[in-house]
Amino acid sequence: MKLTAEQSIIRQHVWLMHNPKYALWSGILKLGSTEVMDEGVPTACTNGRDVAYGRAFIDGLTQQCQRGVILHENLHKGLRQLTTWAALFKEWPQGANMAADFCINIIITDTDPHAKDVALPAGGLLDDKYRGMDTGAIFRALKAEAKATGHINVKTVGDQTGKSVPVKQGAGGSPGLDDHDWEGAEALSDTERHALEKEIDRALRQGALLAGKLGGEVPRSVKDILESKVDWREALREFVSSFCAEREMSTWRRPSRRWISQDIYMPSSISETVGRMVIAVDTSGSIDDAAVGVFLGSVAKICETVRPEGIDLLYWDNRVRHHETYTPEQFDGLVKSTRPKGGGGTTPQCIPDYLNANKIKPECCVVLSDGYVDGWGTGWSSPVLWGMTSNVVAKVGKTVRIDV
């Protein structure tokens, strides 16, 4: 008796969860909902939490390919691709979709290189040249190729010679196997998104322990996710405070208004601020407005406490495109008043060059970037903290991963 698509998916879920090589993903397979659709989903689709499969598509696959497709959808979930790399989709949907598929299909085929138990259907994107690269790095490579040639040479399962795919700037145009519901991922509420992140983290940690006991391996991309993360806000606060902390002294010349209402006269404090601070924001297009807003909001709150003399806010890509200055009285309105500008390449050298040319000598510099840059710059005259939206680690200064 032939199994229904629903029964086949359940069977392959159980098979994957009981196989030592795939134990890492056992918890991820349980997250969210799984649905079989008669219409609307030609192959398979996920929003990073829930998965839908097309009935005719599943019915037409071998058991090995059913497992491969199920793993494909759940690796999208496990690697948090639809939230971590949402800015890439807004920048270039075709490239983001392809990069996500290239990344996870290499993980799948490396786990079973001979496709004995798990296989990808013909047409799935697969190219060895992207091995060891995360989604962001693959995206940059695809973008560079598209810019240089106007097309992309795409290799797939069963066709390793590759074919030329025209570059499309709007939605669609990806030759990948499945659909990625980026809009559905963005529609998740903050509460849902944070809960999902915790569930994925817990599922991967438990899966990693189980995989270790059963002799399975944990891919580098997953190890990066599981590495203990520093609270970036606290790391940012510690960095800024160490260079811009104000020094307070007391004075009787101005009584403290806090106590006057109680007919008590106490000295007020006066602050001796220490220098200016530079915030430099990468506006090459890979960091969305929401991330910039959260980052600047956190910096502004910290500066209200440590009180640097002022803030020089720079927006840069291959050069500094815009420069705003803020006094301590303006810190709390920084996020609402700022006007980001830019959108070209990504060359950090423009920051120290600009500071030196304009004789700006800050106490410290805080740079927000995705880390996919042309060098790290030389001639920095003050300590630098890089707030990275990727796992890239800068070769100059200190780096902290920004998750927003």
pLDDT at 272: 46
Average pLDDT, the chain: 85
Whether residues 310 and 240 share a domain: the answer is: yes
For the chain, the straight-line distance linking the first and the last C-alpha, in angstroms and rounded, comes to 49
* Choice between 118 and 333, residue whose per-residue pLDDT is larger: 118
Statement to judge: residues 190 and 312 lie in one domain: no
Structure tokens at 199: 């569930």
CA distance 404 to 346: 21
- The domain that holds 258 is classified in CATH as 3.40.50
The closest alpha carbon to 177, from 320, 22, 66, 333, belongs to 66
pLDDT digits (tens, 9 = 90+) for 343-373: 777 899 999 999 999 999 998 899 999 888 8
Q: Which of 210, 226, 242 is the last residue of a domain?
A: 226
Q: Choose the final residue of a domain: 226, 257, 280.
A: 226
Q: Give pLDDT tens digits for 89-105.
A: 888 999 999 999 999 99
Does pLDDT of 259 surpass 70?
A: no
pLDDT at 85 exceeding the cut of 80: yes
Total number of domains constituting the chain:
2
Say how far apart CA 169 and CA 37 lie, in whole Å.
29
Residues 163 and 251 in one domain: no
Give the whole-angstrom CA distance, residue 138 versus residue 102: 8
Measured CA to CA, the distance from residue 236 to residue 348 in angstroms comes to 19
Reading the block at residue 56, the tokens are 């005719």
Task: Give pLDDT, residue 34.
Answer: 97
pLDDT higher than threshold 90 for residue 329: no
pLDDT at 247: 47
Same domain membership, residue 250 and residue 220: no
Q: Are 263 and 283 in contact (CB under 8 A)?
A: no
85 lies in the same domain as 152:
yes
Q: What is the pLDDT confidence band of residue 266, given thresholds at 50, 70 and 90?
A: low
Query: Nearest-5° angle of CA 305, CA 309, CA 311?
Result: 85
Residue that has been written with the tokens 């040639």 in this structure: 149
Question: ∠ CA 91-86-401 to the nearest 5 degrees?
Answer: 110
Which band of pLDDT confidence, cut at 50, 70 and 90, is reported for residue 25?
Answer: very high
Answer yes or no: do 218 and 326 share one domain.
no
Q: Are residues 165 and 307 in the same domain?
A: no
Q: Which domain holds residue 281?
A: 232-401
Mean pLDDT of 219-225: 71
- Of 183, 201, 226, the domain-final residue: 226
Q: What integer is the mean pLDDT of 335-342?
A: 84
pLDDT attached to residue 230: 57
User: In this predicted structure, what is the pLDDT of residue 249?
Assistant: 46
Long-range contacts of 109-116 (CB under 8 A, 24+ apart): 110/219, 111/21, 111/22, 111/217, 112/21, 115/64, 115/68, 116/64
Same-domain check for residues 54 and 166:
yes
**Together in a domain, 252 and 390:** yes
Instruction: Please tell me the least confidently modeled range out of 76-90, 182-196, 244-258.
Output: 244-258
Question: What is residue 48's predicted lDDT score, i.e. its pLDDT?
Answer: 96
Q: Are 374 and 356 in contact (CB under 8 A)?
A: no
pTM beyond 0.75: no
Do 134 and 250 share a structural domain? no
Instruction: Tell whether 216 and 323 lie within a shared domain.
Output: no
Print the SS3 string covering the chain. Answer: CCCCHHHHHHHHHHHHHHCHHHHHHCCHHHCCCEEEECCCCCCEEECCCCEEEEHHHHHCCCHHHHHHHHHHHHHHHHCCHHHHCHHHHHHCHHHHHHHHHHHHHHHHHHHCCCCCCCCCCCCCECCHHHCCCCHHHHHHHHHHHHHHHCEEEEEECCEEEEEEEECCCCCCCCCCCCEECHHHHHHCCHHHHHHHHHHHHHHHHHHHHHHHHHCCCCCHHHHHHHCCCCCHHHHHHHHHHHHHCCEEEEEEEEECHHHHCCCCCCEEEEEECCCEEEEEEECCCCCCHHHHHHHHHHHHHHHHHHCCCEEEEEEECCCEEEEEEECHHHHHHHHHHCCCCCCCCCCCCHHHHHHHHCCCCCCEEEEEECCCCCCCCCCCCCCEEEEECCCCCCCCCEEEECCC
Give CA–CA dist 176/161, Å, rounded: 16
Q: What is the pLDDT of residue 214?
A: 65
Same domain, 159 and 67: yes
In terms of Cα–Cα distance, which of 83, 81, 88 is closest to 107? 81
| Of residues 74, 43, 19, the one with CA closest to residue 222 | 74
Output the pLDDT for position 193: 83
pLDDT higher than threshold 70 for residue 182: yes
Over 60: is that where the pLDDT of 54 sits? yes
Q: Are 5 and 35 in contact (CB under 8 A)?
A: no
Band (225; pLDDT cuts 50, 70, 90): low
Q: What sign does the dihedral 38-40-46-49 (CA atoms) show?
A: negative
